Amino acid sequence: MASAKYKIKKNDTVMVVAGRDRGKTGKVMRVLPERGRVVIERLNLVKRHSKPRGAQSPGGIVEKEAALDISNVMIFCDRCNAPVRVGVKANDDGSKSRVCRRCGEVIGND
């Protein structure tokens, strides 16, 4: 099964537009294209019970980030200071770069 191609990449700043953490921004830690989900730093925190695994891992209740559906986040443009849709623009040298649909600013360092 082929996974879809998404315009959100690791280290992008995104804003959550739906769900419990709506309105919060954070950095993308991981993109899971096969499941259509993203993990965002310090957002969508859940508590997990972990078993003790020796001296270095004592166990207990651990708070960790859970994956969010990719449709619930939008890339955050620093220039617009808002969540924006992303377009792809071809450069003169043949490479492509992601651009903000609102202001035309290049997003990331593709």
In-domain check, residue 90: no
Residue 4 lies inside a defined structural domain of this protein? no
Q: Which domain holds residue 33?
A: 13-84
Dihedral (C-alpha) 86, 89, 91, 96: value to the nearest 10 degrees? 60
Q: How many domains does the chain have?
A: 1
Q: How confident is the model at residue 1 (pLDDT cuts 50, 70, 90)?
A: low
Inter-CA distances, 58 with 19, 55, 65, 80, Å: 33, 6, 20, 45
The answer to whether 61 and 52 have CB atoms below 8 angstroms apart is no
In this structure, is residue 76 part of a structural domain? yes
| Residue 44 neighbours by CB distance under 10 Å | 19
| Amino acid residing at 51 | K
The CATH number of whichever domain residue 47 belongs to comes to 2.30.30.30
Indicate whether 94 belongs to any domain.
no
Alpha helix locations (H) across the chain? none
**Residue 105 covered by a domain:** no
Tell me the pTM. Answer: 0.87
| Residue labelled with tokens 């804003």 | 15
pLDDT one-digit tens code per residue, 60-86: 999 999 999 999 999 999 999 999 999
Structure tokens at 96: 């492509």
Q: pLDDT tier at 104 (50, 70, 90 boundaries)? A: very high
Arithmetic mean of pLDDT over the chain: 93
Q: Residue 77: what pLDDT?
A: 95
* Residue 93 placed within a domain: no
Tell which wins on pLDDT, 47 or 56: 47
What is the rounded average pLDDT of the residues 14-31? 97
In a domain, 99, yes or no: no
| Res 37: pLDDT | 97
pLDDT for the residue numbered 108? 81
